[in-house]
Structures are given as C-alpha cells and as structure tokens.
Structure 1
Amino acid sequence: MRILHTSDWHLGQHFMGKSRQPEHQALIDWMLVQVNERAVDAVVIAGDIFDTGSPPSYARELYSQLVVRLHAAGVALLLLGGNHDSVATLRESSALLACLSTTVVAAASDPEAQVQVLPLRSASGDMAKPGCIVCAVPFIRPRDVLQSSAGESADHKLQSLQAAIQAHYQTAYVAALARQAEIAADSGETVPIIATGHLTTLGAHITESVREIYVGSLETFPAAAFPPVAYVALGHIHRPQKVGGQEHIRYCGSPIALSFDEVRQQKEVLLVDLDASGLTAVTPLPVPRFQPLASLSGNLSELAAAIASAAANGSQAQPVWLEVTVSADDYLADLPARIQHMAEGLPVEILRIRRERGNQTAMLNARSDETLAELSEYDVFARRLEQEELAAELSAALSERYREVVSSLQEPQA
C-alpha cells in the first residue's frame, strides 16, 4: 500500500496581507497529478487543514474540491484535526464526506478508542482486507485526556499531559492490535499498523510560523512514547524531518512556506510504502514553489544588488514577495522609502522591512511591524519583559509565573 503523507496546509492563511489561494489551488492540481502518476492509494493530512477556526469561503471551497477530486481518482482521504482547526467546522461535514471516501477525525475527545482505529483500504482493495490499520490520533487538547486538580504546578500539569497523551496512544494501539488479529483470522494476512499525530516532539526544529500549542512546552514528548507501529505520520512542525533520526517517525512539513524563515526549505510530501512486513520505503517528493519568496539582508548598497537579483525569479503577473533586513544603515529615518525606491519597476513586492540593531531598544523597534495576530500571549509577555533590566533568574521566574496564570485561566470551568 502507498500513502501520501502531508500536513499543515493552512487553507485560508493570509501572509502579511497576501492571500495564499492561488498557491493552494496550484498545490491541489499538482498533488492530483502525483496521486495518479505514482499510484497512491490514500492521502493522510496530519492536521491544520485550515489556518483558522472560521476559514473563509474560498478555503472551504478548496477543501471540498480536494475531497471531490481525490474521490474521483479512487483515492481515500484521512484528515486529522490540528490545533488551528475548529472541531465543529471539521465535524459539520464529516458525515457527508464519509460518502466521498474521506474520513475526518476532528478531536480526541471520543471516549471509545475504536473510533480512532480505522482500516484504510488500498485503491484496489476492500475494507474486509485493508491495506493498513491507522491509530488516527488528531491534535490532543488537554481537556480531551485529563482533568486538572487544584494546586498543580505548571510542570506537573505538563508531565500529566505527556503521560495522558502516551496512554491515549497506547489505548488506540491495543485496539488496533485487536483489529489486526481479527483481520488475520479472517484472511490469514497480516496488516501493518501506523499512527498519526499533531504535536511537538523532542528535538524537532520549528520555524517562526509554528506556535506552542500547549501551556508551557511539550517538546520533551519522546519518540519512545509512540507505540511500536510501522510508521508515525506527524504534523504541526513545518520543516520536514525525521524524529530522533528514526526512519519511521516523520514530519512531512508544510507543503508551502508559511513564514519567511521557511523560504530556504525544500518543501515536500512523503510517499510511504507498506506491506505485510511493515514499512518498506519512505520517499520524499519535492513540492514546487508556486509563489516566489525571498528573505534578503545587508546594508543599502548590498540590498540594491540583492533585490535586483531576486527580481529575476519574478514576473509582473507573479512578483517575488520580499522580506528585507537592513544592517549598518538601519538608523536612517527614511529607510522604508529608500528600500521601496530600490524596488521600483521590478517584479517584486516588499512585504516586510526590518532594522538590525545591537541594543534592546532597536530590537523592539525592529518588531514594530508585528501585529497581535502574529503573536501568542507568551510572545507579548516576552516582548514586555525585554523592556526591563531584570536579572535572568527574575525574568525566568516571572515567565514561569505568567505561564501558571495563563494555565489556570485556560482550564475549563466546572
């Protein structure tokens, strides 16, 4: 069986005022070609299909188009909810989409583990003899798996959450083993088991477009905590990577760059081949860049040449989106006007200008183009702390106390 593993599409994202609709449309067109040419049996999207809980209408239209076109191609789709996705939004059409070869697992809150243990058929097979069994685990919200107790510290809550997530995976895995045994008894064949997830794991390399999804950090969730399945298809981290160097635990990354620090990444989806023995191959499939982007830095003379060079990758119909970081000359008051003048007549659009300075005040000025929509509550607090001359120990203690306060506010009320 061959699965295409992808995640973090973020349909409906606005990139500094720019819509990603043309890129996502091109991505769907490209992926359908790959699905047909490479004989893909099923597509797994491991969370964050949408960028917000209330996606715009064009994002919903793209979502529906993806489902319909995969169904027409005879390819099953398994879609897992992510931290950006609204459970209600995903659930509202899940029954309808089930008639179109699409299974949606919006949340981990259902108490029956069997609901998240799904047989996934191959294109030529049937559900009586599926190509694999999936422990279809979406993004796990703390309220889905544990209840808080009064007086718990932030560290204890994180430890409890990690243990609860691990137990959730183990429960799903036990149910998958039972389903595997049933299939073996009926057909005499062994069906491999895989798992999904939308979370941060130990040592994963993140980018600026990825926000912490739990109070504190769950970067200590170890690879060993996953059950011994043939493959673990992960989402949430936008950079493609193996977890702990293990071939079978993978982040596929986002298929398009979602922030300027991702522009140098080669985006990809993963072709995952399985048979009765388990995982046989994982093949990265590079995704073309549908919108040219570039992040440039230097002094004014260097930037003039860099902007002209970047313009070679654009056209009047599709200009290059630029982030420009100015060093050495960043004290000039008319800096934005000078940078915009360099771009006049060139097929480029400058979306962000940054000033690079060594002192704290200048660092805050360099962030003047940030909006609250781009920052988490922890980012805002960190920005405020930077304005104070505090000892490192006091700053860390204040940050920890702030996390505890936010944690108490985010707990569901009885």
Structure 2
Amino acid sequence: MKILHTADWHIGKKLHKHSLQPDFDLFIDWLCNCISENEVKVLLVSGDVFDLANPSSEARQQYFKALMKLKRLDCKIILTGGNHDSPTMLNAPQEVLRELDIHIIGGLPNELSECIVPIKNDKNENEILVAALPYLRDADLRTASQGNSYEDRLEALRKGIQQTFLDTAEICKSQFPEIPTIAMGHLFAAGAETSESERDIQIGNQAAFNALQFGDYYNYIALGHIHKPQRVNAATPTFYSGSPIPLSFSERTNKNRILLLDTETGWEPKSIEIPSFRELLKITGTLEKLQQKLMELQAREGLASLIEIEMQEDNFDANKIYELDQLVDNFKVEGYEIVKHRASFENKISGSGELYEEKQQLEDLQPLDVFQKLVDKQEEDEETRKELMSAFNEILEEVHQSKKA
C-alpha cells in the first residue's frame, strides 16, 4: 500500500500581504497528478491546514475545493489540526466529510480511540492503522498543570506528549494486534531546524520533545509543524515532510517535498521534490548595487517572483532612503514584484532620546528643537540642512492646522 505524507499547507497564507493562493492551487494540481501516477491509497496531512484559526471565506473555499479534487482520485484522506488551526472549525464538517472517506481530527477527542483510523485492503481486511494525533494543547495534557516551577511545567508538558503517544500505541496494540501503525503528530522535536514563519509551540519551543520518547511501537511517524524537510532522530523512521511551498524568505532555499511510503518495501519513505512555482529573491547591498542587480533582471512568465530588498550603507543618509523608495516605486520588470524593502546603516544614528542629557526630559522639548538636533548629527551640507528644516516646518504647520480644525 502506498501512503503519502505532507503537512503545513497554511491555506490563506500571505507573504508581506501578497496572497499565496495561486501557489497552493498549483501545488494541489501537482499533488493530484503525483497521487494518480504513484497509485497512492492514503494521504496524510499532519496539521496546520490553515494559516489562521479563523480563515477567510476564500481560504475555506480553497480548502474544500482541494479536498474535492483529491477525493476524485479515490484516495483516503486523513487530516489533523495544527497549532495554527481551530479544532472547532476543522471539526465542523467532520461527519459529512467522513462519508466521503475524509477523516478530520481537528483537536484531541475525549476518547483517544477516536484518533485511530484503520486502513483496509482490497480484501476488506485491516492492513494498516493510522494514529492521527493533532497538535496537543495544554488543556489536552492534563499533567501540564502539575508542578510549581516553570521547569516543572515544561517537564510535565513533555511527559504529557509522551504519555499520549504511548497510550495511543497501547490502544492500537490491544484492539488491533499485530497491525502495522503509523502515528501522525504536530509538535516541535528537539534538534529540528526551524524558520522565521513558524510560530513558537509548546512554550516557545523550550519544551522540545525528544523523539526517542515516541517509543518503538510505531512503524513510521509523520510529523508536521517544522517547514524545513528533515529526518528526526528516533527509534523508528520519523520525518517532517515540510511545507509544500515556501512561506517566508528564510525558506526560499528549502527543497520542498512530499514523502511517499510503500509498505511492501519497508518504512523508509521516498522523497519526491515539489517543483518551484514561484521564486523568492532577497537582494542586499548598497544603493548602487541594488540598482545594478534590479536592472539585470530579465522578464519572466508564470507567477511573479517576489523580491525582498535591503539597502546596506555605512552612514545614515536621508537622501539614499528617498532614492531607495523611488527605486522601488519605479521598478517595473514583468514577472517580478518587490514586496518589502528596508535600509540599514553600519554607523547608526542616535535615537532622539539619546541626543540630550539625562536631566532633560524629551516631553519638555519642542518638536522643532528635537528635529534640529537630529539634523545637526547628519553629515549634510548647509543647503540640505535648510531644506530638511523647511520641510519639517511645513509638516509641523499642517499638524497644527489639523488640530485646530
């Protein structure tokens, strides 16, 4: 039997306010082809289906369209909730979807046995079990409230996670003896590499769970939450499939993939790389280098490449900030879009609060005096200083007029 493991879809995700909806649609189309070509019978989605607990109507519509596309392939779908997901929202259509052989476990149910999903073969015999455990919240781990100190609580969380997986293994062992079992989980395993788009989980990742505590009962453990594909050190094959598309610029070099299991050949998964639907570019350098790099870009087709720009200069220069803004505003190359830009300076300007002696209170000073101090710190010629002060006076006058209105 062939089983496919994916996770962290984050439907509804926006990267610097830029929707990744078309990226996900292309992934689902590719995934459908992959399932069909490899004759996959079971699809596992290990948490973080949505990016927000209360997703938009567009995100929900995209979710149901994806499920219907996948269902047409006659593939059983097992989907669990992650820390981004609302258990209530995911579970709402649970009974309806189950009739379509789509199993949703949004949050940990009162009866742990409800997480066990038997997979039958062509002879209608139980061939494999899936222990579909969602993200485990503090309320699910009753031991988490025990202990007086912060360290006690962290240790209680680890033990609670461990006990949940061990109890689930015991149910599988007693109710379905000698049936191979796959566990699904959504958590942070100790040693896993994270990215900037991953929210802290289990008290800021400090309660990192040692994957050796999963035990040795499961044949394979399909994890979600970490977006970078990787193997975890455990007693049995334990993998993060990673997210199918880059969700931040820190993930732009990830080799996004899905994992394919063939139980006839063993429990080591085959990694299938997902094609890149969109390029994320991070361009850094001086203003001059940024201008040069942007001019070298060649027009391209398909989804627009998203660009993050950082201007790096030695000394603060207000004119260069203005020129950077103009560079971004006037940038027009087909197939590219600048979604974020910023400036950084090696020799940082002092903040306004640092320009005065400690005995002076900033609120006692006039705005014009504060700005004059800031201008005096700049390496500008006299004409530029006068222009800056004149511009500030105009702004100040507009503020005063608006207050009188």
Give the TM-score of the pair, scaled to structure 1.
0.78
Measured in 2, the distance between the counterparts of 1:19 and 1:349 equals 13
Does 1:215 pair with 2:215?
no
Aligned partners of 2:94, 2:269: CA distance in 1, in Å?
29
Q: 1-10 or 298-307, which moves further after superposition?
A: 298-307
**1:25 Cα deviation (Å)?**
1.1
Q: Which residue of 2 aligns with 1:381?
A: none
8 Å contact from structure 2 (residues 155, 207) kept in 1 = no
CA distance in 2, matches of 1:142, 1:18: 33
Quote how far apart the aligned CAs of 1:343 are.
Answer: 2.6
> Which aligned pairs between 1:19-38 and structure 2 lie closer than 5 A?
19-38=19-38
Is it true that 1:314 corresponds to 2:300 in the alignment?
Answer: yes
**Structure 1: distance between partners of 2:214 and 2:235:** 12
1:198 aligns with 2:186: yes
Separation (CA, whole Å) in 2 of partners of 1:343 and 1:61: 34
Q: Percent identity?
A: 30
CA distance in 2, matches of 1:153, 1:173: 30
Pick from 338, 341, 345 the counterpart of residue 353 of structure 1.
341
Q: Structure 1: how far apart are the matches of 2:240 and 2:299?
A: 29
- 1:145 deviates by 1.6
CA distance in 1, matches of 2:93, 2:311: 48
* Cα distance in 2 between the residues matched to 1:38 and 1:2: 8
Offset at 1:269? 0.8
Cα distance change of structure 1 residues 312 and 38 upon mapping to structure 2, 3 Å threshold: farther
Partner of residue 119, structure 2: 120
Q: Which amino acid aligns with 2:64?
A: S
Partner of residue 158 from structure 2, selected from 158, 162, 183: 162
The one-letter code of the counterpart of 1:141 is R
Q: Per-residue CA shift, 1:219-269, capped at 9, x if unaligned?
A: 531111113211110000000000128771100100011001111111111
Q: What SS does structure 2 have at the residue aligned with 1:144?
A: coil
CA distance in 2, matches of 1:362, 1:214: 38
Q: Deviations over 1:37-79 (max 9, x none)?
A: 0111110000000111111122212221222222221100000
Residue pairs, 1:254-293, within 5 angstroms? 254-275=243-264, 279=267, 281-293=268-280
- Is the Cα–Cα contact under 8 Å of residues 201 and 218 in structure 1 kept in the other structure? no
Shift of 1:216: 3.8
Unaligned runs of at least 5 residues, structure 1: 182-189, 364-414
2:361 alignment partner in structure 1:
none
Give the whole-Å Cα distance in 2 for the aligned partners of 1:16 and 1:350.
10
TM-score (norm 2): 0.79
How do 1:56-75 residues align onto structure 2 when only pairs under 5 Å count?
A: 56-75=56-75
Larger displacement relative to structure 2 (322-331 or 85-94) = 322-331
Aligned CA-pair RMSD: 2.4
Number of residue pairs aligned between Structure 1 and Structure 2:
347
Distance change (3 Å), C-alpha of 1:239 and 1:313? farther
Give the match's secondary structure for 2:338.
strand
Aligned amino acid, residue 176 of structure 2:
Q
3-state DSSP of counterpart to 1:131 = strand
- 1:123-164 superposed Cα distances (whole Å, 9 cap, x missing partner): x453xx233111211100011121555872222111001001
**Residues 149, 267 of structure 1: alpha-carbon distance in 2 compared, 3 angstrom cutoff:** closer
| Alignment partner, residue 134 of structure 1 | 130
2:157–2:207 contact (8 Å) kept in structure 1: no
Aligned twin of 2:4? 4
Give unpaired runs (5+ residues) of structure 2. 352-405
Q: Which amino acid aligns with 1:248?
A: P
